[in-house]
Structure 1
Amino acid sequence: MWRGLSALATQAAWAPLRLCARCSTGAESLVPRSTIFALSSGQGRCAIAVIRTSGPASGLALRSLTALREPPPARKACLRLLRHPCSGEPLDRSLILWFPGSVPGLRPAEAGEFTRRAFANGKLSLPEVEGLADLIHAETEAQRRQALRQLDGELSQLCQGWAKALTKALAHVEAYIDFGEDDNLEEGVLEQADRDVRGVEAALGSHLRDARRGQRLRSGANVVVTGPPNAGKSSLVNLLSQKPVSIVSSEPGTTRDVLETPVDLAGFPVLLSDTAGLREGVGAVEQEGVRRAHQRLEQADIILGVLDASDLASASSRSFLDTVVAPLVAQSHNSGGQRLLLLLNKSDLLSANAPACDTALPPHLLMSCHSGAGMDHLLQALKTELAVVCGDPTTGPPLLTRARHQYHLQGCLDALGHYQLATDLALAAEALRQARRQLNHLTGGGGTEEILDLIFQDFCVGK
């Protein structure tokens, strides 16, 4: 690995590596493992560049570029002058890190190949590889924190602990099958196995009841802005996204389709949707917009209901409260249901002597998109709601960020259910083996090439 090259020197150092690659292509089948190289710091103009190689010919490439008979001390950063291996022309000064190995054969690395080799060599588990991929693509602080926890191996360690408990239970069951009639077998062997299995079942059930929080944290929560026409929905979307996503006009019914924009809200990834104002008795185009608004409401994780604080007595406001807000408030006790934040916008239009709001309203926030008043309270409330919907990556057990995790943990739990129902000890033992196999698939053991290709397809070259 060489650090500190200028952009021009990077291209000069690149050429001999590609030359080596072309020369060795015909003989690659004779080499037990090819050598790969890539620009790990990415393309484009930059102050420094990092060239990374991995494989048996790395030493040869390093000596050809530094004119050294022997490589520098292993695992120690050294400053060296890089020269063109043919002309001897100086290229740049560079920091060199050498991790030993050697024989010819060099080729450009494929996307994610360095990490894939680390996985193949047992340096990373599959959830840790997924955590690294998520870290590369993280766009918010919450995503970064969750990716780091997964990269640190928290989910893998959890699965290994469950697998160890199931292995112990399996050993007890098999011992009873083999030695159940012997007097030397300890009492309570099967009871201990049952206790171990129940403990794993309870832990799996708890993780599977996370309502897809980890997957929302990875891909983004759906936050939908809704309300009657001219309540300030588009102004709110523009304010939260800090860009002109929607057209703002005093004319009711300006928004007639669902407008989406990805937003970082309080460190959480969000897909923010602006929808048509909900009302009846309008033209065909606006009716279609209202239909799409209702459809998007059904898909929402968090609903921002917006009302005009100066016009709460209007028919459209009362209809929205009765048909949208009231049902959501009624089902709010269901922890897996949709979350609602009711916002009374246009507080700047309220007179000083007028009541701030209708006392019969459910809990709400008073704000003004025009003046920005109340925005701090809204952002804090959104942060609280998003932490519930997406999970808090700073506390608690690791989240399940992919459908693959859910699938294998559910498979493990199903197998343990067969264990509990088994009337024969041989069937019970087989159920435990199947449960362990599901955990093994989750952490990467026995994974098929198709699954690995799917996971590694989003990695960048050089990683």
Structure 2
Amino acid sequence: MSAPDERDTIAAIATAPGRGAIGIVRASGPQALALAQRLTGRDPPAPRTAVLRTCLDHRGEAIDQGLLVCFPGPDSFTGEDVIEFQGHGGQLLLHLIWERLLALGARPARPGEFSERAFLNGRIDLTQAEAIADLIDAGSRQAARGAMRSLRGEFSSRVEALRTRLVGLRIELEAAIDFVDEDDVGPIGDRRLTASLADVAASLDALLMQAEQGRKLAQGAVMVIAGAPNVGKSSLLNRLAGDDMAIVTPIAGTTRDLLRTDVVIAGMPVRIVDTAGIRETEDPVEREGVARARQAIDQADLILAMDTGDEPTDGVTSVTLPPQIPVLRVRNKIDLRGEPAGWLSGSDVLGVSVLTGEGMDLLTDELAQRLAGAAQGESTFTARRRQVQALKQCADAVEAARAGLQQGLGIELLAEDLRRAHDRLGEITGRVTPDQLLGEIFSTFCIGK
């Protein structure tokens, strides 16, 4: 990844399409201030000072009048010279100003290129860059707060703290490998290394758990309603959505395909997936629906397994649920049996009536706890699936190093495991390079004496 071309200045309309009171056109790059002068026919204003300016076309005629603000680099969002013109929100006016900037020498910005330049110029790391998109796309107050915490660097600082600890361990191991005869390089103690790796692993587990909750907060948790035909899955979807999203009939097998709707539960965006009733069938359409239901179940964050108590206890639903995915078991139609709502005696099954609404408050509270978990706290940051995956790979590499240490493997293999762990953390923030590690090794040991 290389830094932006020094001769390259980009421009874009920064506000969403549509009619509005205010619209913003921005440009970034070494020619941005010169573009501001040519666009308005006047010298750029003092840095970070909003002044009234008129944008002119190639004939010198006014296009629009509004506020011009200049942000000289490196003290700007992108780290380059940046200008922003805040005018009236008509799309024609904004396009005319943008096209004028292009005619003066700018080029159209690619999607996300302003944030990309901020990353390449060291203004933000990769996690913070992604948090900008999460903040824009936030579907709830909790998600917006979490994205802001990531943008402020809370997630990055946790990753950086772990990276620093891994670098310290790598330095010791690699120094022991390469400079074993040096007097100032001490031996590695297995007991101390075991304790250090255990401490890193525990910190990784804690961060991974919080990042997984942050991933659900930013990108939404997926809850799949599964069960046999005609147990009330579609009725539950409709009640949770507050709308008639699915067709409901007494005929078993009405739902043939996946039905999805997005709701917010305890501040967390949740995608609810209604599935075809799982059963053996000769109907080719329903068979395809069952196959899609199984695929959706495998990708869920939470499975809501619904029954009515009338199905066989060894039915197909109970044996096809993936063991690694949390399951909330719900028994519907308690109104037909005269049973009270709540947890059934001596079981982990929650009794409800979707038809009458009995037990639905209990169900919603339980969903909030299981889906949101730690994300309900005030310290949760947002994360993304790739970041969670990188943390998992890092944890796997650290566990491999711990296992290798117990088995008495050579320190070269342990160093390789820690290198893999270190690289996975570097993928999260996008800041780790071999040269950076080399610099830290030279600064820690008197290598060149």
With structure 2 as the length reference, what TM-score do the two structures score?
A: 0.71
Runs of at least 5 residues in structure 2 that lack an aligned partner in the other structure: 74-80, 83-103, 434-449
CA–CA separation in structure 1 for the residues paired with 2:105 and 2:418? 46
Match of 2:116 in 1: 116
Residue 47 in structure 1 maps to residue 32 in structure 2 = no
The structural deviation recorded for 1:379 is 1.9
Aligned partner of 2:8: which letter?
A: S
Match of 1:233 in 2: 233
The structural deviation recorded for 1:33 is 2.4
Aligned partner of 1:62: which letter?
A: A
User: 8 Å contact 2:227–2:317 — kept in the other structure?
Assistant: no
User: 8 Å contact 2:51–2:69 — kept in the other structure?
Assistant: no
Match of 2:271 in 1: 271
Distance 1:446 1:375, change over 3 A: same
Distance 1:37 1:377, change over 3 A: same
Residue 413 in structure 1 maps to residue 398 in structure 2 = yes
User: 8 Å contact 1:419–1:432 — kept in the other structure?
Assistant: no
Match of 1:362 in 2: 347
The structural deviation recorded for 1:56 is 1.6
Aligned partner of 2:315: which letter?
A: T
Alignment identity in percent? Answer: 34
Match of 2:31 in 1: 57
User: 8 Å contact 1:168–1:193 — kept in the other structure?
Assistant: no
Match of 2:371 among 383, 386, 391: 386
CA RMSD of aligned residues (A): 4.2
Question: Which one is further off, 102-111 or 374-383?
Answer: 102-111
The structural deviation recorded for 1:112 is 0.9
Report which of the two structures shows the higher radius of gyration computed on alpha carbons. Answer: 1
Match of 1:459 in 2: none
The structural deviation recorded for 1:355 is 4.8
Aligned residue-pair number: 396
Distance 1:107 1:342, change over 3 A: same
Alignment of 1:419-434 (within 5 A): 420=405, 432-433=418-419
Match of 2:222 in 1: 222
Aligned partner of 2:18: which letter?
A: G
Distance 1:360 1:434, change over 3 A: closer
Q: Deviations over 1:218-270 (max 9, x none)?
A: 44433232445444332221222233321122344432343333433343333
Q: Deviations over 1:40-72 (max 9, x none)?
A: 11222111001111112211222233332x321
Distance 1:136 1:359, change over 3 A: closer
Runs of at least 5 residues in structure 1 that lack an aligned partner in the other structure: 1-30, 448-463
Q: Deviations over 1:369-390 (max 9, x none)?
A: 44545433322221112124xx
Q: Deviations over 1:159-204 (max 9, x none)?
A: 221222233334445666647674x777988865664444323323
The structural deviation recorded for 1:115 is 0.7
Match of 2:45 in 1: 72
Match of 1:23 in 2: none
The structural deviation recorded for 1:342 is 0.9
Aligned partner of 1:138: which letter?
A: A
Alignment of 1:93-132 (within 5 A): 93-100=65-72, 105-132=105-132
Task: Specify the SS of the correspondent of 1:48.
Answer: strand
CA–CA separation in structure 2 for the residues paired with 1:125 and 1:288? 44
The structural deviation recorded for 1:418 is 8.2
CA–CA separation in structure 1 for the residues paired with 2:254 and 2:416? 63
CA–CA separation in structure 2 for the residues paired with 1:299 and 1:431? 29
Task: Specify the SS of the correspondent of 2:315.
Answer: helix
CA–CA separation in structure 1 for the residues paired with 2:279 and 2:194? 59
Question: Which one is further off, 150-159 or 219-228?
Answer: 219-228
Distance 1:168 1:361, change over 3 A: closer
Match of 1:460 in 2: none
Distance 1:280 1:326, change over 3 A: closer
- Larger RCO (alpha carbons 8 Å, 6+ apart): 1
User: 8 Å contact 1:81–1:91 — kept in the other structure?
Assistant: no
CA–CA separation in structure 2 for the residues paired with 1:288 and 1:190? 56
Task: Specify the SS of the correspondent of 1:224.
Answer: strand
With structure 1 as the length reference, what TM-score do the two structures score?
A: 0.69
Residue 155 in structure 1 maps to residue 129 in structure 2 = no
